[in-house]
């Protein structure tokens, strides 16, 4: 599909997006289009700009240049249609689980609106808490919960706003491997049930390859025709865009040969500073992957 078709039909569309801080180019001409219902995992070396990309999609920052559309509309600031879950649980220690979960809604409403809708909102919160197995813990305070439980509360906190896109920035990064795997399965079940679009940043390649329906590699390790002269400022690009398929939720797939091969490939494509693919060789096989001309290419014409 070409960029224009994708722009009109997909939920999220980024075109020619650059982000620089001073003369430090972080994101270098990002073209990305995501259909409704995808679970996009994003990996890349530390400092590649994964969190920056997330902040741009959330509308917390404006890009230096380029376009970011959600449902065809330019992203606005502080739009609740994009929920977010961070690595560090954003729970208030002096509030119960239920109060933490309903706080977002309470802040959005006037006193009278809240009184009117309170029962329905609490019912909804309890429904989500039940989904994540925490309904019997709703009166507890965060310090009475394990790390995995707190992170599940943080997911509910985001879900209750019914975001069009759930943005997750290393949400399971602080958890032990067993809890992490439990939450991976929980997220997949939730995704299958709710038909939600999820954008999930992680350091862990195994996690990305297991969870994603689509896996994107963002990296600053590549080459192009700009050379490596002192004036060249090169930021990260999407160097690979894989479509992934999963037949069931079993984590056994992590121990298969194909899975190991994919991870080795991603490590080489995105994480090895010595392995610099030319931009023409990027592995962009996903059907929604597209590339417009870079500023440099336009200049050279
Ligand atoms: N507000 C800012 N001002 C200046 N530089 C910034 C700002 N935000 C991010 N950066 C720089 O942008 C680069 C990318 O940062 P970012 O946090 O997006 O990377 P990341 O891929 O999420 O890394 P990590 O895997 O370590 O979380 C870094 O070099 C960082 O220092
Ligand atoms: Mg980050």
- For ligand 1, atom 9, the nearest C-alpha belongs to 52
Decide if pLDDT at 239 tops 80.
yes
Which ligand sits closest to the CA of 26?
1
Q: Where in the chain is the domain with CATH 3.40.50.300?
A: 3-81+163-294
The ligand with the least distance to the CA atom of 55 is 1
CA torsion, ordered 120, 126, 128, 134, to nearest 10 deg? 170
Counting from 1 in the atom list of ligand 1, the atom nearest the Cα of 218 is 21
Task: Please say if the pLDDT value at position 296 is more than 70.
Answer: no
- Of 25, 112, 5, residue with least CA distance to 296: 25
Q: Evaluate if residue 24 carries a pLDDT over 80.
A: yes
Report whether pLDDT(299) > 80: no
Confidence tier at 293 by pLDDT (50, 70, 90): low
Prediction pTM value: 0.89
Confidence of residue 301 (pLDDT cuts 50, 70, 90): very low
Res 77 pLDDT > 70: no
Assess whether pLDDT exceeds 90 at residue 227. Answer: no
Q: Which atom of ligand 1 is nearest to the CA of 48?
A: 21
* Percentage of the chain exceeding pLDDT 90: 50
Which of 18-22, 49-53, 176-180, 226-230 has the least mean pLDDT? Answer: 226-230
Closest-lying ligand to the alpha carbon of 86?
Answer: 2
Residues contacting ligand 1 via CB (< 6 Å): 21, 26, 44, 46-52, 203
Residue 270 per-residue DSSP state: I
Which whole-number Å values give the CA distances from 101 to 44, 153, 176, 181, 230, in the listed order? 31, 7, 24, 23, 50
Mean pLDDT of 172-187: 87
**Considering the chain, what percentage of its residues have pLDDT values greater than 70?**
92
The Å distance, Cα 140 to ligand 2 centre, comes to 30
The alpha carbon of 26 and the centre of ligand 1 are apart by a number of angstroms equal to 7
CA distance 150 to 86: 12
Superfamily for domain range 3-81+163-294: P-loop containing nucleotide triphosphate hydrolases (3.40.50.300)
Q: Specify the residue with its C-alpha closest to ligand 1, atom 5.
A: 21
So what's the pLDDT on residue 264? 95
d(CA 92, CA 152): 14
Per-residue pLDDT reduced to its tens digit, 112-138: 999 999 999 999 999 889 888 899 999
């Amino acid at each position: 599909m070409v960029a224009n078709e994708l722009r009109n039909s997909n939920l999220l569309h980024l075109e020619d997006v650059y982000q620089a801080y001073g003369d430090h180019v972080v994101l270098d001409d990002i073209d990305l289009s995501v259909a409704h219902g995808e679970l996009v995992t994003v990996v890349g070396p530390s400092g590649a700009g994964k969190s920056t990309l997330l902040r741009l999609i959330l509308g917390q920052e404006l890009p230096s240049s380029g376009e970011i559309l959600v449902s065809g509309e330019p992203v606005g600031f502080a739009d609740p249609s994009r929920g977010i879950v961070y690595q560090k649980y954003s729970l208030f220690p002096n509030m119960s689980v239920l109060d933490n979960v309903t706080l977002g809604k309470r802040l959005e409403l006037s006193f009278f609106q809240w009184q009117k809708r309170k029962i329905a909102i609490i019912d909804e919160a309890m429904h989500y808490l039940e989904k994540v197995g925490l309904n019997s813990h709703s009166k507890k305070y965060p310090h009475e919960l394990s790390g995995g439980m707190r992170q599940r509360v943080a997911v509910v906190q985001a879900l209750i706003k019914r975001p069009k896109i759930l943005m997750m920035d290393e949400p399971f990064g602080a958890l032990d491997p067993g809890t992490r795997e439990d939450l991976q399965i929980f997220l997949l079940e939730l995704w299958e049930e709710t038909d939600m679009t999820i954008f999930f940043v992680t350091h862990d390649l195994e996690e990305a390859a297991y969870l994603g329906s689509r896996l994107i590699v963002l990296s600053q390790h590549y080459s192009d025709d700009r050379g490596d002269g002192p004036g060249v400022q090169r930021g990260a690009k999407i160097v690979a865009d894989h479509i992934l398929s999963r037949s069931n939720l079993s984590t056994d797939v992590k121990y298969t040969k194909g899975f190991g091969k994919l991870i080795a490939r991603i490590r080489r494509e995105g994480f090895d500073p010595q392995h610099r693919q030319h931009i023409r060789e990027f592995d962009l096989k996903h059907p929604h992957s597209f590339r417009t001309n870079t500023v440099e290419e336009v200049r050279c014409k």
